[in-house]
Structure 1
Amino acid sequence: MKITKIETFIAGNPWKNWLFVKVHTDEGIHGIGEGTLNGFAKTVEAAIHELSHVVIGMDPFDVEVMSLRLFRDVFSDGGQIQGSALAAIETACWDIMGKVTGQPLYKLLGGKCHDKLRIYANGWYRGPRTPESFAEKAKIVKEKGYTALKFDPFGDAWRTVEPKDFHLAIEIIKAVREAVGDDTDLLIEGHNRFSVHTALQFAEKMVPYRPTWFEAPVPPQRISAMVEVAKRSPVPIACGEDYYCREQFMELLKHDAVHIIQLEPQFLGISASKQVAGMVHAANGVIAPHSAQGPICSIVCAHLNMATPNFFLHEIFDEFNEPWEKEILTNPMHIDNGYIVPPDSPGLGTDLNIEEILKHPYQPGNWLPLFRQGWEKRQTNK
């Protein structure tokens, strides 16, 4: 079997353009993948086509050497853009492997480690940045069956915050805790916002509301800063979504400071993601993969999580996206009272509805500007 052609499609979700691929073979079997990257849909699309010559003619089963050729052999560090292109193509190859063998992806990755996957809601707090709005929406999410909620209460903060804004963020956390009670995990999203000292000040003040983790409190480039926060914070630190190669995770894990690792299969590819999950397992850590892209990303994470013994929580944006999202896949993921299971059909267990995708074209303003006031409303930003 040989790869013969790669097609790309962009669905213009208002808050983030989603990029999908379709990899064709000479035996008439195709696979699908996703390469979504906030603000760079067209750029990653170009990277996929520019790199397609590397994989056309290869056997889609040879994902390890394919990843080496797409990452090592190019001899350039294209970062998340290169990682997104690699992951999109490699995911489609895993989908093909599942179809050829008649097995769901999680079976190819090691088999079923869990009966179901506990999920946490993200994207649910769209609206004004007030304690009242967050509390009202949190109650609705809990009524849907979710036992864990993630949110960013910090507005457009960057490095430092004024006292009034600091107090508002803590009041939002308090309001959500009071709204959902003590039996719900609260996951506080930092979006790489703060200096070390500001992050630690926030960590101290949020302790009474018992957050399960404080995510990405400082920028990811200086691992030493993340380690310093993790070792001094009274709240567990989670991070990892920004990293795009195994070596970055090795550097993070060697400090034995962060034990909740949010690897991003969209940047690593499935093969490397499985290997990173094993590294985390050896370090007595757990994984909670980043799954805040499009719907294929969510399904990929579900398969990975099902086959990973040290899985912790699965991120869900799907229920809080545009209603038409459910129409762009032939078999969208089903949420059942706070849990999911990946599809049991061969490969990813779903396919692209190209006709529906074409109804929602790419728009330059479809991105999430996390340092612009009012970004929480998730409106188009032209």
Structure 2
Amino acid sequence: MTRIREITVTPVAFRDPPLLNAAGVHEPWALRSVVEVVTDDGLSGLGESYGDASHLDRLRAAAEALTGADAGHHHDLYARVAASVGTGVFTDQHGLTGAGSNGKTVDSVFAPFEVACLDLVGKATGRRVADLLGGPVRDAVPYSAYLFYKWAGHPDAPEDRFGAALDPDGIVAQARLLVGEYGFRSLKLKGGVFPPDEEIAAVRALTDAFPGLPLRIDPNAAWTPETSVRVGTELAGALEYLEDPAPGIEGMAEVAAKVPMPLATNMAVVTHAHLPPAIAHRAIGVLLLDHHYWGGLLKSAQVAALCATFGIGLSMHSNSHLGISLAAMTHLAAATPNLDHSCDTHTPWLTVRDGQDVIAPGALAFAGGAVPLPPGPGLGVELDRDALAVLHEQYERCGVRRRDDTAYMRRFHPGFAPARARW
């Protein structure tokens, strides 16, 4: 394989609706970073990651350390990134993806470069990334309608096209919109926003409106174990799984022993060191993979194989992302035999439908709630440089440098105080 000649890391910003969660509310701008790795023979590969300022600093340091490396030598690339990170720890400001650690930080910094290098290897060999991960076991990857309580619009802006969703009727209307536009065949509600009984009512309303569709709720550890058991008991038969109802592996284990549905997580188990205690305590039945912080696609595939060994189901976590990430998620999910639940995605909420993406249109599209695997080599997507320039200019002008759902909520509700196990 050829050597890395240069790496460019470009921060971008794009519009984000006021989606509510246990930590607060999404700001008007979402931040991401686009990584482009170019080899000495002119091939280029793409990766995507978070856009917070401290993470960008680490990405740029890693890019310098990776220059000159062989793009196909996975272990050497990882060692170089680990050395560039040192003992640093990156913790997401909104706190919805679990605790930070040095290992998780190294994995998070490494992930976009690994994706870009796999994109390169695929282009050099004429193979799709899914082929490099063992070959696809499905031609299209199912995604879930990701439902949020939300304001009608940001307070200083007009109402957005989704409108308000602050009660069961609003959530059902939102679900009808997303199912109608994308054909989703499963539903996920982001909870932890209102008292649990109100969110139970929303789940029941969705069950009545969409009989037979798998349904899940994720309160981001906003409930105590006692409340989690009560909710899980009341919603017996309504949920395919209950995601992160209570904090920590021990709290999840307490709930898992007393509710009829499996528990899922992308908060209690977020790095490899968490797997042994979670398995020992029987804390989870479903793991939500996220290659952005599990160390890229190859390490995520290894985790998936481990989950198969221990009978743990798989889904996939999503944060606000653009098309490069959607492509990487789709390749990973297509090549994961034991991925047995629809994946999460924020794509319907973002401005990609209005052309604000960094990839050229046409490579990715939803059909029946699923994204067909792109046929081209590598990730099967190409960088739209004009669009990248627009989104980078938006980053320069928007003034946001780290995601902070809590601080933004406090601008409008000064007394807001997020807390795990608050109910």
Match of 2:68 among 57, 73, 83: 57
State the alpha-carbon separation in 2 of the partners of residues 77 and 278 from structure 1. Answer: 29
State the alpha-carbon separation in 1 of the partners of residues 315 and 407 from structure 2. Answer: 24
The aligned amino acid for 1:369 is D
Name the counterpart of 2:252. Answer: 226
State the alpha-carbon separation in 1 of the partners of residues 3 and 60 from structure 2. Answer: 17
Displacement of 1:367 after TM fit? 3.8
Q: Taking structure 2 as the reference length, what is the TM-score of the superposition?
A: 0.78
SS in 1 for 2:301: helix
Q: For 1:149-228, list aligned pairs within 5 A.
A: 149-155=187-193, 165-181=195-211, 183-207=212-236, 210-219=238-247, 222-228=248-254
State the alpha-carbon separation in 2 of the partners of residues 241 and 300 from structure 1. Answer: 21
Displacement of 1:115 after TM fit? 3.4
Displacement of 1:120 after TM fit? 0.7
Displacement of 1:137 after TM fit? 1.5
The aligned amino acid for 2:168 is P
Contact 1:242–1:264 (CA<8 Å) still a contact in 2?
A: no
Name the counterpart of 1:272. Answer: 299
Displacement of 1:52 after TM fit? 2.3
Structure 1 residues 205 and 13: CA distance shift in structure 2, 3 A: farther
SS in 1 for 2:368: coil
Correspondence 1:359 to 2:390: yes
Contact 2:144–2:343 (CA<8 Å) still a contact in 1?
A: yes
Displacement of 1:224 after TM fit? 2.1
Name the counterpart of 2:420. Answer: none
Q: Where in structure 1 are there 5+ consecutive unaligned residues?
A: 158-164, 376-382
Name the counterpart of 1:311. Answer: 339
Structure 1 residues 371 and 49: CA distance shift in structure 2, 3 A: closer
Name the counterpart of 2:56. Answer: 45
> How big is each residue's C-alpha offset from its partner over 1:260-292, in whole Å with a ceiling of 9 and x where there is no partner?
110210012112101101101111222212133
Displacement of 1:369 after TM fit? 1.7
> How big is each residue's C-alpha offset from its partner over 1:154-209, in whole Å with a ceiling of 9 and x where there is no partner?
31x6xxxxxxx33212211122222212x10111012232222222222223225x
Name the counterpart of 1:369. Answer: 405
SS in 1 for 2:47: strand
SS in 2 for 1:346: coil
Name the counterpart of 2:43. Answer: 29
The aligned amino acid for 1:6 is I
The aligned amino acid for 1:285 is I
Count of residue pairs brought into register by the alignment: 360
Match of 1:137 among 171, 174, 177: 174
State the alpha-carbon separation in 2 of the partners of residues 253 and 69 from structure 1. Answer: 31
State the alpha-carbon separation in 2 of the partners of residues 190 and 19 from structure 1. Answer: 27
Tell me the percent identity. 22
SS in 2 for 1:51: helix
Name the counterpart of 1:108. Answer: 132
SS in 2 for 1:298: helix
Structure 1 residues 73 and 85: CA distance shift in structure 2, 3 A: closer
State the alpha-carbon separation in 2 of the partners of residues 368 and 337 from structure 1. Answer: 34
Q: Taking structure 1 as the reference length, what is the TM-score of the superposition?
A: 0.86
SS in 2 for 1:262: strand
Name the counterpart of 2:9. Answer: 8
Displacement of 1:129 after TM fit? 1.4
SS in 2 for 1:288: strand
Structure 1 residues 11 and 72: CA distance shift in structure 2, 3 A: closer
Displacement of 1:228 after TM fit? 2.1
Contact 2:256–2:282 (CA<8 Å) still a contact in 1?
A: no
Q: Over aligned residues, Cα RMSD in angstroms? A: 2.5
Match of 2:185 among 147, 157, 161: 147
The aligned amino acid for 2:376 is S
The aligned amino acid for 1:214 is L
State the alpha-carbon separation in 2 of the partners of residues 258 and 270 from structure 1. Answer: 22
Q: For 1:316-331, list aligned pairs within 5 A.
A: 316-322=345-351, 323-324=353-354, 327-330=357-360, 331=362
Displacement of 1:237 after TM fit? 0.8
Q: Where in structure 2 are there 5+ consecutive unaligned residues?
A: 17-29, 90-100, 151-163, 412-423
> How big is each residue's C-alpha offset from its partner over 1:42-99, in whole Å with a ceiling of 9 and x where there is no partner?
2211111122233211101011332233237854252454432211111111111111
